[in-house]
Amino acid sequence: MNLPIKISPDPIKEAVIELRFNSDAPPEGVLGIFYTSVRKSLSNFERLPITQIPDHIRMTDPSLIYQPYYRFTNENYLFQFGPKVISLAVKSPYTGWTDYSNRFFELYEKITCGNDIVQNIQRFALRYIDFFEEDIFHKINLNIDLNIPAPKSRLYFRTNLNFDEYNCLLQIGNDAAVNDAKYKKTGSFLDIDTTYEPVGKINESNIKTILGGAHIVQKKLFFSLLNKDFLAALNPQYEN
């Protein structure tokens, strides 16, 4: 399948790379190293609301263990971290996979340089959220059969798909809204969250391979959902 390298207008509203891990270091030590490592290359530091919750609850509640505690922002990038998680998000306009993935690995190298803080990686995730200013359900390769007429508005679809070692949580809805700089837009969202749970020891080379594979899975699934006419209307560009 020949995949486009770009479509226009670019529907990507947000992309997130997340890495969850365990560490032998105490939580305050992990947080201190992360903060010191990236504070010169990022700005606008802030504490997240979870830091108001007592430590023993944060570290034992399954829904909170892998939540970030702090955030740095720079341009349209957002770096968040906690004792067991790091993530890098990019907002619209999307900067492209090469720039985005390079930025993530630059930060990863900074926080792991000369230490063994990140250990026993538990989960990788790559998520893209796309927004279209129209109802896309009649323009995508998805059939839903019901014994009653399907609703035309407030339609929401969610499923899990497996591609070898990757799992994709696919969500599509036609009742979405985003606040642009000047006005509110309504339309459809297409949300793909691709995860990989490693087995065995992972090094930096493995991480690059795994995230690269997740990106390929993302692109294949996304473009396989768009029917031929819809894709053509998005002005696809291909490599020469």
pLDDT tens, position by position, 30-59: 999 999 999 888 889 999 999 999 988 998
pLDDT of residue 201: 66
Kindly report the pTM of this predicted structure. Answer: 0.92
Give the residue ranges of DSSP H helices in 63-156.
97-112
Pairwise CA distance, residues 207 & 119, whole Å: 13
> Tell me, what's the pLDDT at 235?
95
* Separation CA 60–CA 32 (nearest Å): 21
Do β-strands 166-179 and 70-74 pair in parallel, antiparallel, or remain unpaired? unpaired
Domain boundaries, the chain: 24-117, 124-240
Question: Along the chain (240 residues), what's the average pLDDT of each consecutive run of 10 residues?
Answer: 90 95 88 90 91 91 94 90 95 91 92 82 94 93 76 85 95 86 83 88 79 96 96 91
Phi, psi torsion values for 145, nearest 5 degrees = -105, 125
Q: Confirm if 59 and 96 have CB atoms less than 8 A apart.
A: no
User: 82 has which bridge partners?
Assistant: 85
pLDDT at 183: 64
State residue 200's pLDDT score: 66
Phi, psi of 101 (to 5 degrees): -65, -40
Beta pairing, strands 156-163 & 85-91: unpaired
Local structure of 231: helix, strand or coil: helix
Place of tokens 């991480």: 207
The pLDDT of residue 7: 95
